[in-house]
Structure 1
Amino acid sequence: MNATTDTADIRSLIERSADAWNRGDGNAYGECFTADATDVTYTGTVYHGGAEIGRGHQALFDSFLKDTRLTVEIIEIRRYGDDTAIVVTRGESSKKAPKLLGKLATYTVVRDTDRQWRIAAVQKTQRKRLMEALTFTFQPASRPAAR
């Protein structure tokens, strides 16, 4: 296993998932996930398995998320052995260029049975900037190290 190639392949996986979103292609989006994946959306919906993730998102792409674009910025990729990595991103889905990337997502990616990298789990969270600022103001020790 080549760490540099794997990191590029992991980045490509996240880009492929965003590209599928941007095309409104639920099937292609679902194919980025393992058969037993878990997708926890920022609204709290839990989807299980690539097929369900794809079907559920196709319904959203055809309605609420129609013509949206997913902007994703990878913050970090941390490897755990040859076949597992954690990817932390910030991003936003919007119809126009986003002013800020207000959602964070933590992906667990694995090398699947066909040796391709796929998303095994993702947890999306809406960043609450005001609450974060208040917390840091009144509890400065709670501020994480800058990244």
Structure 2
Amino acid sequence: MSTEQITALINATAAAWEAGDGEAYGANFTADATYITFVGTVYSGRDEIASAHQALFDKFLKDSVLVDDILEIRFLGPDTAVVTSRGDVGKHGSRPSKLSKVQTYTVVREADGQWRIAAFQNTKRKALMEKISFAFAPATVPAGR
């Protein structure tokens, strides 16, 4: 099991994003991957993920960078891991001042030995709602906070 290989996979997605290369971005996913955006859009499969991201890179995400700070890599077996991270999108060459999203990746090692993303979930954090919840229900504060 290699955290280095999984970290390299996540870094490769960020590099493809920064290059604006939907095909390279999609290559990091399994052929039947599921990708859920923070607005709730569901993409199915590497090809759809690649083509949708190319359209985004050509328009709304042109010249942007993806920042993805890994919080945890947890192995569920020799060929499966769950990655939790915080991230966001910034303008080309600059890191966003705040990482407002939380991601969960399910990564698998495929028959060719390569780690790829089988499922991705992106959630926009609502910091104010967290503060309110924590104030009124302190038992909901996560242990690592």
Please say whether Structure 1 and Structure 2 have the same fold, judged by a TM-score greater than 0.5: yes
What's the TM-score once normalised by structure 1's chain length? 0.95
C-alpha separation between the residues in 2 aligned to 1:125 and 1:40? 9
Shift of 1:97: 2.4
Matching residue's letter, 1:18: A
* Matches of 1:124 and 1:40, distance apart in 2: 6
Equivalent residue letter for 2:120: V
How does 1:20-35 map onto structure 2 within 5 Å? 20-35=16-31
SS of the residue corresponding to residue 143 of structure 2 reads coil
- Identify which of 36, 40, 64 aligns with 1:40: 36
The reply on whether 1:122 has 2:137 as its aligned counterpart is no
* CA positional deviation for 1:112: 1.3
Sequence identity of aligned pairs in percent?
Answer: 56
Q: Aligned equivalents of 1:98 and 1:81: distance in 2?
A: 34
Partners of 2:14 and 2:77 in 1: how far apart?
A: 25
**Residue 40 of structure 1: how far off its partner (Å):** 0.1
- Which residue of structure 1 aligns with residue 111 of structure 2? 113
Of the three residues 70, 78, 85, the one matched with 2:81 is 85
Match of 1:134 among 116, 132, 135: 132
Distance 1:33 1:132 in 2: 31
Cα distance in 2 for partners of 1:117, 1:30 equals 13
Structure 2: state its 5+ residue gaps. Answer: none
TM-score of the aligned structures, taking structure 2 as reference length: 0.96
- 3-state secondary structure, aligned to 1:114: coil
Q: How does 1:8-87 map to 2 (within 5 A)?
A: 8-87=4-83
SS of equivalent to 2:119: strand
Q: Name the SS for the 1:80 alignment partner.
A: strand
Question: What residue identity is the alignment partner of 1:106?
Answer: T
Name the residue aligned to 1:7.
3
Equivalent pairs counted in the alignment come to: 143
